[in-house]
A and B are shown apart, each in its own frame.
Chain A
């Protein structure tokens, strides 16, 4: 029979992780429990759901969001809504109410699906992840986190603790858009997030991230370079052109490469258009 441990604190949690690397680390279950009755029965469960040390939002120079924070909590947190809009917006479009009540930041980041809804936002906001193990804690810039299709820099004995998200300054505007298969409860076909630092309407710098167009969420360096120094409007054309050769989306059961490419260009161009 499957064993079960509900750690009382993070120390117990990382100890359990080290002792039982084959046990399932479970929080909201919105990925790991899909079709549970057809999955391999886990040897054990380390249940992190509502572990207090992982459920918090701390507002300082950056906003630190505990890995156990649910998308409902992210969506409704005043500071996140006001200062990290892409994250709040993505939270609102993850699944639907029931999924938002259980899905966690740690889960989305740990599963690292190419269509993970919060991931382009974390990239564009240049978040930094904090992970813990019995060996201690370390930080990994989110832009270095994803190493391939559903693979990350998380070591086998580590747990995700939090995301530290710098607060964009007054000169930086952020945008986000998800194009799903329908209006709600949908998987992304194309997704984009951007943080654009402006001087008037000239672009000083930008971070542009896309989801669902590669095997992981990606920053588009070609676009970021192309728009530097451009004015909004002009930058839209430059961004569109740069994106053309920068991504190789695929055909799958939900959409086509052609569509993804074209809509990604439209989204990115819209990000760089005057409002």
Chain B
């Protein structure tokens, strides 16, 4: 490890902390936008149909309003993502594919006028029968995508077993555990709603807004607006939360404001109302997982067979990748020689489902950790002990045949939980109001592949620049966005450490496609591990060049020429900042652009879905204690402990915050949260009814950060953003099962569900 690690490993306060606590940080809706008009979207009220016409109420005064429809799209009417299938605006004669799909747009000088105008736009849609569940989609009651409604399917096979051999393994097994698991859609509920602003300057379109991936928006807008790369400039404004919900959706919003701005000849801003945001934007993919596992007489798992079906909503968007991750995690972090995982994601007439922290893994993790619980019960084995016994460790192979080597924190995270677990609280208790309480404890062990799957990172070829500006300041330029997870601060720490300078001399500039290279998207728990690594290399390369220049120009540096990473002589004369300033004065800017190089030996076959699915995995274990109120059937989370192997905590406070944030989202998903649809429309589209945990709902969260360094991550760091989301929901289900003696295989485990389970309780 680099001994002069500087601030790395320290919980330095966030670079943007003061701006945030004073209210000075400016989110999209805070920005000065003189003369900006407000955009509002006119949306479908039916789930499936044909748009026959768009009428404008003749009694409305349209003189101050711009109306835009598909006919006004300057380029191609689709939002480019994986495919070009999702329209930005349904054209006349085109198919409406979900409730709240955008049919028309209005812009006006005031919000009030824009809302009124939107109400005066009268679309006429001829309704068609909707496909509103997975089975109807598979039965192709209506053709929504291709001939079979399947956006994507995968098949993972381990052990070369044929289907017949797999069935034979199940037939001769000592124990077969089978279950069907359902996980619900979930709203990201970032507290800053979706927001975007567009402005045209001649043929160039400037977009600024709340987003995770400026280059996704850029790519989509080049096609949508039919522009060259230079004629679309996308900038991220301070973003009030994303969690995946601002990965792909901002491209849609960008298209809308761009079209309005072009037609109105004005700057146009769109900030979604909360109700609209909940109703119209992406949700976690609902998922049905059928999971079978076979165990032999020694309690070893000999076969796993999983069938995953996800509801993708109306368009393909990111569904193939969500399914991929779900499928690749479906067999779980346990030893098993024979695995088959089949996965499909299907089209329905719901608003497209999309990215949300965990991205498919929470769904299949729920299934496999429920299965492990059932196996433990069937074998009469303690829930913790069985996981310890069967867990993957270094040297074992995963479901895709990846042999694990470095950075496998299995024993460390399990030991961390074991150390703090203590005896479970008393089984039976009483609330202050006299209600009887029934307690239970649940464990989970789980993993999460860090970064993009397989050769994804190689294809992304993420880039970052570390530079000395002409003014003699250090700058980090990357398209990674800080969406709360502390990217700005982490990059500052990494760069400061690599350069050997005071972090205050470094600026991580705001991501704008005109000024930063494409580092790849801010998703997949890759920002620190992948982009941070690129930043580190760029910083080191810059340092080496500066030192070399310094030596050649009589301004001597700390360790002399080309001493990349090796601690040689003691510190001497001139700090790097001074060399940098001298360089800047004499030569101007010096920028070092580095492209991500994947670690050696990652062999992945996309065709057979075998090999090293991820360069490295995060590992975690979770303990949950619940108390069920037997009068009201409410499940209270009394305790939640997470032990997470993050490789290296560049900033422990930020890592802790990420773990705790993800944990509470998972606990909320487990017992409180749901997205309820009626005829394809979100029926609980406001914060009153689409609830998330409050301060009072959250238990005191306990977090143990474990560090099993990843040799190819900066200072050993690997991903942390998503993993804490994957496990706790299953831990809650396991705990409630422990309390009540019956299984809970669907989310949410609401009080209504618990009440209905009463006939199955076995309270001994």
Contacts and interface: CB of A to CB of B under 8 A. Distances in A.
A76 B568 CA distance: 68
A259 B683 CA distance: 19
A267 B433 CA distance: 10
Given A37-B111, A184-B694, A263 B632 contact: yes
Nearest to B115: A38
A35 B688 CA distance: 12
Contacts of B435: 266, 270
Nearest to B433: A177
Nearest to A254: B689
B694 to A, nearest CB: 5
Given A183-B696, A263-B632, A270-B433, A258 B691 contact: no
B411 interface: no
Contact of B631 (A175, A189, A253, A267): A267
Contacts of A258: 752, 755-756
A186 interface: yes
B632 A184 contact: no
B562 interface: no
Interface in A145-196: 175, 177, 179, 181-187, 189-190
Contact of B697 (A179, A182, A254, A275): A182
A263 B631 CA distance: 6
Contact of A184 (B434, B634, B697): B697
A262 B755 contact: yes
A184 B695 contact: yes
A182 B111 contact: no
B688 A187 contact: yes
B751 interface: yes
Contacts of A175: 433
Interface size class of B (residues with CB under 8 A): 20 to 34
A263 B694 contact: no
Contact of B694 (A182, A187, A262, A275): A182
Contacts of A256: 752
A197 B633 CA distance: 29
B565 interface: no
A275 B434 contact: yes
A243 B689 CA distance: 28
A275 to B, nearest CB: 6
B694 A185 contact: yes
B180 interface: no
A266 B634 CA distance: 13
Contacts of B425: none
B691 A181 contact: yes
A108 to B, nearest CB: 16
A210 to B, nearest CB: 14
B684 interface: yes
B676 A184 contact: no
B672 interface: yes
A182 B636 CA distance: 10
Contacts of A273: 434
Given A183-B696, A183-B697, A253 B683 contact: yes
B112 interface: yes
A267 B696 CA distance: 22
Interface string A26-49: 000000000101100000000000
Contacts of A255: 751-752
Contacts of B633: 259, 263
Contacts of B13: none
A184 B755 contact: no
Contacts of A35: 275
Nearest to B689: A253
Contact of A266 (B632, B697, B756): B632
Chain B interface mostly helix, strand, loop or mixed? loop
A253 B672 CA distance: 13
Contacts of A267: 631-632
A96 interface: yes
Given A253-B689, A267-B631, A270-B435, A183 B755 contact: no
B456 interface: no
A175 B433 CA distance: 9
B691 A270 contact: no
A131 B684 CA distance: 36
A270 B631 contact: yes
B631 A184 contact: no
B693 interface: yes
B631 A183 contact: no
Contacts of B756: 258-259
Interface string B249-289: 00000000000000000000000010100000000000000
Contacts of A96: 694
A259 B676 contact: no
A158 to B, nearest CB: 29
Interface string B744-758: 000000011001100
Interface string B554-570: 00000000000000000
Contacts of B755: 258-259, 262-263
A81 B634 CA distance: 27
Interface string A217-258: 000000000000000000000000000000000000111101
A223 B633 CA distance: 23
Nearest to A189: B751
Interface string A94-125: 00100000000000000000000000000000
Contacts of B630: 266
A270 B436 CA distance: 10
Nearest to A96: B694
B71 to A, nearest CB: 29
A183 B691 contact: no
A184 B696 contact: yes
Given A181-B691, A182-B693, A182-B694, A253 B684 contact: yes
Given A37-B111, A259-B755, A253 B697 contact: no
Contact of A270 (B111, B434, B634): B434
B733 to A, nearest CB: 19
Nearest to B684: A253
A38 B276 CA distance: 12
A177 B434 CA distance: 11
B492 to A, nearest CB: 35
A215 to B, nearest CB: 18
B634 A179 contact: yes
B691 A186 contact: yes
Give the most central of A35, A186, A189, A253: most B CB within 10 Å.
A253
A253 B755 CA distance: 17
Nearest to A251: B752
Nearest to A265: B631
A250 B160 CA distance: 54
A267 B755 CA distance: 14
Contacts of A186: 691
Contact of B751 (A177, A183, A259): A259
A108 B115 CA distance: 30
Contacts of A254: 684, 689
Contacts of B684: 253-254
B693 A37 contact: no
Given A184-B694, A258-B756, A259-B752, A179 B632 contact: yes
A3 to B, nearest CB: 18
B105 to A, nearest CB: 18
A254 B673 CA distance: 11
15 contacts: A37-B111, A96-B694, A175-B433, A177-B433, A179-B632, A179-B634, A181-B689, A182-B694, A186-B691, A190-B632, A255-B751, A255-B752, A262-B755, A263-B632, A270-B434
Task: Report, nearest first, the 10 A-B pairs whose CB atoms are least far apart.
Answer: A183-B696, A184-B696, A266-B631, A259-B752, A183-B697, A253-B684, A179-B632, A184-B694, A253-B683, A182-B697
Interface of B: 111-112, 115, 273, 275, 433-435, 630-634, 672, 676, 683-684, 688-689, 691, 693-697, 751-752, 755-756
Given A184-B695, A254-B684, A259-B751, 13 more contacts: A37-B115, A38-B273, A181-B689, A183-B696, A185-B694, A186-B691, A253-B676, A253-B683, A258-B752, A259-B755, A259-B756, A263-B751, A270-B435
